[in-house]
Amino acid sequence: MKTKISKLETVLEEVQTPCYICEEELLEQNLKQLQYIQDETGVNILLAIKAFANSGMMPMVAKYLKGCCASGLYEAKYGQELLQKEVHTYSPAFKDDEFNEVCEVSDHIVFNSFNQLEKFKNKIHSQNSIGLRVNPEISFSPVDIYNPCAMYSRFGTTKKEFNLNVRDEYLELLDGFHFHALCEQNVEAFEDVLDHFETTFSKYFKHLKWVNFGGGLNLTQDNFEIDEFIKILKNFKSKYPHLEVYLEPGEAVAYQTGVLAATVVDIIHNNIDIALLDTSTECHMPDTLAMPYTPQIRGAKSIQNQDLQTFGTGDYVYRIGGNTCLSGDIMGDYSFDKPLEVGDKIIFEDQMHYTTVKNTTFNGIKLPDLAVLKKDGTFQVMKKFGYEDYKSRN
């Protein structure tokens, strides 16, 4: 995987903030890496809409991936409309009043439990392929909020529940098993999960047509052991040649493909220098609070666990904060090459996944525009938001 080089500097002047800017060329680099995995192994890769639903970029995603995975009716409709390829819909619990429409727009439908399979088995459309999410009960996630296999997890049928509730009739209805157990993991974790999955469930594989290994892998990061991964997938395919294999990355599709651009609105002093921006962690970068993590700022160094008062005036150290009234709306502490000034642009790196899809208008903060830097170098704002967006939902 080539190191990614942003070409944003050429257009930054004209960007009105706050604004998410996706770089087409960088997204295509990721998609080509995923295409390589598909070509080498014969697996099918789907975009997890949950992570990245950016209308302007969907035509490019559709060029490389087989379709999308959706977590319910709206994502399924979105995927069907904007990608026009396969739609695989899983929901922790499908609702009666939505299920028929889910069937209409989906190819695969994945149930979370045998209860749900029992409830909806007569409402499935003939073109739907039916799966069950199983819980491989092995977990590597860094934090519980992003751990699909944490203790008492509500995702997927565990071995115990499977064995208690399985019936021949269900095995006849099922075409596939699905698991999603990882978050930001590498090959080693995948190998372990796959091993558990196989040990527990391979006795049923003869009934199936496909398996879906979920997302949560760093497929597009420089240090991902791609050759090792390809070997594991090929080995699985050779053991079970009758099974189609699906992967559904979210983060990996949009990893390092764009930024959130903001502007310094004011700089104040309260023992330390504090810059206030026209953006917000809570509204525009919620994972910085939920994970939590400190977002990278282009051209600045993050300062961790250090008393800011130990820095001198020549160090250009600032606490960077958002413009909501949430006290904790703080991106972090950073050191810059030169003093910040009101009007300066601040570029937060790697802000295309799990951001726009989670934006809120909390506190009446303006939603950032969605823009794209095209491969030919032109800058295009795809969506603009304003007061009406706040009013319409409040």
Binding site for ligand PLP (CB under 6 A): 48, 50-51, 69, 71, 90, 180, 183, 214-216, 248-252
Q: How far is the CB of 147 from ligand PLP (least distance, A)?
A: 11
Give residue for tokens 């995987």.
Answer: 1
Q: How far is the CB of 146 from ligand PLP (least distance, A)?
A: 8
Q: For 284, phi and psi rounded to 5 degrees?
A: -120, -20
Q: Which is nearer to ligand PLP, 87 or 300 (CB)?
A: 87
Alpha-carbon gap, residue 5 to 29, rounded angstroms? 11
Q: How far is the CB of 381 from ligand PLP (least distance, A)?
A: 26
Q: How far is the CB of 175 from ligand PLP (least distance, A)?
A: 17
Contacts 24+ apart (CB under 8 A), 127-130: 128/103, 129/175, 129/176, 129/209, 129/210, 130/173, 130/174, 130/175, 130/176
Q: Which is nearer to ligand PLP, 18 or 214 (CB)?
A: 214
For residue 381, what are the β-bridge partners? 371
Q: Which is nearer to ligand PLP, 72 or 322 (CB)?
A: 72
Of 178, 165, 95, the residue nearest 130 (C-alpha): 178
Q: Which is nearer to ligand PLP, 248 or 278 (CB)?
A: 248
Q: Are 176 and 212 in contact (CB under 8 A)?
A: yes
Non-local CB neighbours of 70 within 8 Å, separated by 6+ positions:
49, 50, 76, 78, 79, 87, 88, 89, 90, 106
Q: How far is the CB of 202 from ligand PLP (least distance, A)?
A: 21
Q: Which is nearer to ligand PLP, 71 or 165 (CB)?
A: 71
| Total length of the chain | 394
Task: Tokens for 237, please give them.
Answer: 């395919």
Q: Which is nearer to ligand PLP, 114 or 179 (CB)?
A: 179
Q: How far is CA 265 from CA 36, 279, 281, in A?
A: 44, 10, 16
Q: How far is the CB of 78 from ligand PLP (least distance, A)?
A: 15
Q: How far is the CB of 291 from ligand PLP (least distance, A)?
A: 12
Count CA atoms closer than 13 A to 368's CA, side-chain side.
33
Q: Are 114 and 132 in contact (CB under 8 A)?
A: yes
Alpha-carbon gap, residue 394 to 392, rounded angstroms? 6
- Burial code (b: 16+ CB inside 10 Å, e: under 16) for 137-166 equals bbbbbeeeebbbbeeeeebbbbeeebeeee
For residue 82, what are the β-bridge partners? none
Q: Which is nearer to ligand PLP, 29 or 323 (CB)?
A: 29
Gap between the terminal Cα atoms of the chain: 45
Q: Which is nearer to ligand PLP, 18 or 250 (CB)?
A: 250
Q: Which is nearer to ligand PLP, 251 or 329 (CB)?
A: 251
Q: Which is nearer to ligand PLP, 137 or 369 (CB)?
A: 137
Q: How far is the CB of 70 from ligand PLP (least distance, A)?
A: 9
Task: Tokens for 191, please give them.
Answer: 């190998």
Q: How far is the CB of 342 from ligand PLP (least distance, A)?
A: 36
Q: How far is the CB of 186 from ligand PLP (least distance, A)?
A: 13
